[in-house]
Amino acid sequence: MRTPVVAANWKMHKTQTEARQFLADFLPRARDLAGVEIVICPPFTALAAVAEGLKGSQVGLGAQNMSDQPSGAFTGEVSGAMLVDAGCKYVILGHSERRRLFGESDQVVGAKVRAALEHNLTPILCIGETLEEQQAGQADAVNRRQLLAGLEGLTAEQVAGLIIAYEPVWAIGTGKNCDPGDAQARIAAVRAVVAETFGADAAARVRIQYGGSVKPANMASYMAQPDIDGALVGGASLDPASFAAICEAAR
């Protein structure tokens, strides 16, 4: 049985003060949510405040990006060791906004995944097709390409332990969430690629989230799908009641 995992991607939202206010409201709601792994990924500047606020709770801390380099003259970058030092256990890698707006190639994302694993961080590897690619019938092919580059050089055991997030780009922040049956089909295809490349055991264990306009009202329909193991949530994770309702629906 795979434990469902729900992660909040706050993107470029929330100051330290706002992050503390979120936790004061969210953590009492999350106290009874046994059986679901919950992760909060604030911006870098709020990592320390959220790490402090999460002490003694079951909720994990993640970052939204990291460098593939260990240290050095890389102005504006943050290393895996720095994330571990800040209390992170997870890191989102290859989000479509990083790929599209900041030019991250499939190969760079793969290098980041390997660097994260060297620091024992759990990567949340994001993949997903654009609207044009979907309309051209290329969704599974795009996911396959991004997945294989993202997992390049890993062992089956490493793959089994990480998290994949299928986020169709056209569903992100648009309110047009992917039909749950379609998300199931895409994610089953992703799991099949893992099975083919890393074996049946890794495919059975790796957790695959859906992301893209997840809301309290649609979360249960994703969780009802056999291959969907949770969600990566943007907009609806900014509000404590809404994020708690999504976590509740993942149980």
DSSP state of 237: G
The one catalytic residue in 37, 95, 97, 129 is 95
Here the tokens at position 206 are 């790796």
The residue among 182, 207, 185, 203 whose CA lies nearest residue 194 is 203
Write down the H helix ranges in the chain.
16-30, 47-54, 80-85, 96-102, 106-118, 131-135, 139-150, 156-161, 180-198, 200-205, 216-223, 240-249
The one catalytic residue in 37, 97, 129, 167 is 167
Contact between 173 and ligand 13P per CB under 6 A: yes
Using the contact rule CB under 6 A, the part of the chain among 54-62, 149-157, 188-196, 232-240 near ligand 13P is 232-240
In whole angstroms, the minimum distance from the beta carbon of 234 to ligand 13P comes to 2
Closest CB to ligand 13P among residues 81, 89: 89
DSSP state of 114: H
Catalytic residue status for 152: no
From the list 2, 48, 106, 235, which residue makes contact with ligand 13P (rule: CB under 6 A)?
Answer: 235
User: Per-residue contact track with ligand 13P, 71 to 100, x per CB under 6 A?
Assistant: ------------------------x-----
In whole angstroms, the minimum distance from the beta carbon of 211 to ligand 13P comes to 4
Give the DSSP per-residue string, 25-36.
HHHHHHTT-TTS
Rg (CA), the chain: 17
Check: CB of residue 7 under 8 Å from CB of residue 232.
Answer: yes
From the list 232, 244, 247, 249, which residue makes contact with ligand 13P (rule: CB under 6 A)?
Answer: 232
How many angstroms separate the CA atoms of 67 and 76, rounded? 10
Check: CB of residue 170 under 8 Å from CB of residue 130.
Answer: yes
In whole angstroms, the minimum distance from the beta carbon of 177 to ligand 13P comes to 8
Closest-by-Cβ residue to ligand 13P is: 234
From the list 36, 183, 233, 246, which residue makes contact with ligand 13P (rule: CB under 6 A)?
Answer: 233
In whole angstroms, the minimum distance from the beta carbon of 107 to ligand 13P comes to 21
The residue whose two tokens read 């992703």 is 190
Contact between 239 and ligand 13P per CB under 6 A: no
Catalytic residue status for 95: yes
Rounded-to-10 torsion of CA 42, 44, 48, 52: 10
User: Per-residue contact track with ligand 13P, 191 to 230, x per CB under 6 A?
Assistant: --------------------xxxx----------------
User: Per-residue contact track with ligand 13P, 94 to 133, x per CB under 6 A?
Assistant: -x--------------------------------------
Tell me the C-alpha to C-alpha distance, in Å, between residue 68 and each of 49, 93, 122.
Answer: 25, 10, 14
Active site positions, annotated: 95, 167
**Site residues for ligand 13P per CB under 6 A:** 9, 95, 167, 172-173, 211-214, 232-236
